[in-house]
Structure 1
Amino acid sequence: MEQFLFFFIALVAVASAVYFVFAKNPLYAILSLIVTFFSIAALYVLLNAQFLGIVQIIVYAGAIMVLFLYVLMMLNLNAKDESKKHNLLKFTGIISAGIIFVGMIGAYKGVAMTNATTDVDSQIGLTKNLGKLLFNEYVLPFELASILILAGIVGSVLIGKKDL
């Protein structure tokens, strides 16, 4: 039953992500992205990573999507204002997606199908273990990511300044 639920939620996530890419109305695209974020959070919970599931809902489905909706409402997009999209960009996207798909099929072909073991550690997704791993083994990438985020914030403030 749990495996069926996992595949169903994964199908919902993939379907809503594909709808996001091909949606004509930007509001419907953002709503489908919210469904995608909630589906990914449900997948995290099913994989015993409750902390990541809650952070996914709070940060992405909450804050980021409110920001997207705010920007969409402020832009007031109309169909007459939107210029025609070039077919070259669509063709490039389809070709790159096809290359990624072929690479994923090739990687999947090399993976042997194994049965899942029943010995599952119930402590694997807890916040205590995640914090130990993050601040012991992955402290350098964590700090580099924070410096990168700080550089992005400073860059956006400089770009947004009216007079330099």
Structure 2
Amino acid sequence: MSVFYLAAFLAIFFAIMTILTKNPVHSVLYLVITFFTLTIHYILLNAQFLAVVNFIVYMGAIMVLFLFILMLLNLNKESEPMKSTLVKVIGGIAGMCLIATLLGAFRVLEPSHAMIVANSDVGLVKNLGKVLFKEFLLPFEISSILLLTAMVGAVLLAKKDVKKA
């Protein structure tokens, strides 16, 4: 249980640091660490597939894309537009709604008891593959054809039109 509490504390801490940091590159790096702590939670929940997908897709691909875009934009203080008071008031109201929601959620929650798992193989990739290829074979194949079609379309759109003389 101590690993859970440590990972939970670090997830909350780095999520808050993501919001409070002024430097956008530091904010993205804190978000990467937050995703890593969520990967630890997935492993503790015996959801290895979700842990690997979270690690590869979110931490690997999306965060690298965020960092690339932030470095490409080269945001300076001079290029940042001034925020109106209306935007600040709406942001304050949204923050208060979030705090009210969190307080309401914590009031409803009961202390957790020891959880007994009936099937400990629930989050394993082996079982996910069995369900995916037995019960959901047709939707899986249709989505693969859709992704293949999108990839071919993207290649055709990106291809330069070469005219021969």
TM-score normalised by length of structure 2 = 0.72
Greater radius of gyration (CA): 2
Percent identity, aligned pairs only, is: 43
Q: Which amino acid letter does the alignment assign opposite residue 5 of structure 1? A: V
Matches within 5 A, 1:36-115: 36-115=34-113
How big is the shift at 1:130? Answer: 3.1
Q: 2:133, 2:62 → 1: CA distance?
A: 26
1:27 and 2:63 are equivalent in the alignment? no
- For structure 2, list consecutive stretches of 5 or more residues without a partner in the other structure: 152-165
Q: 1:30, 1:54 → 2: CA distance?
A: 20
Equivalent pairs counted in the alignment come to: 153
How big is the shift at 1:12? Answer: 0.8
Distance 1:69 1:110, change over 3 A: closer
RMSD between aligned alpha carbons? Answer: 3.6
- In structure 1, what is the equivalent of residue 10 of structure 2? 12
Q: Which amino acid letter does the alignment assign opposite residue 53 of structure 1? A: A
Q: 1:99, 1:142 → 2: CA distance?
A: 39
Q: 1:132, 1:98 → 2: CA distance?
A: 45
TM-score normalised by length of structure 1 = 0.72
How big is the shift at 1:98? Answer: 2.7
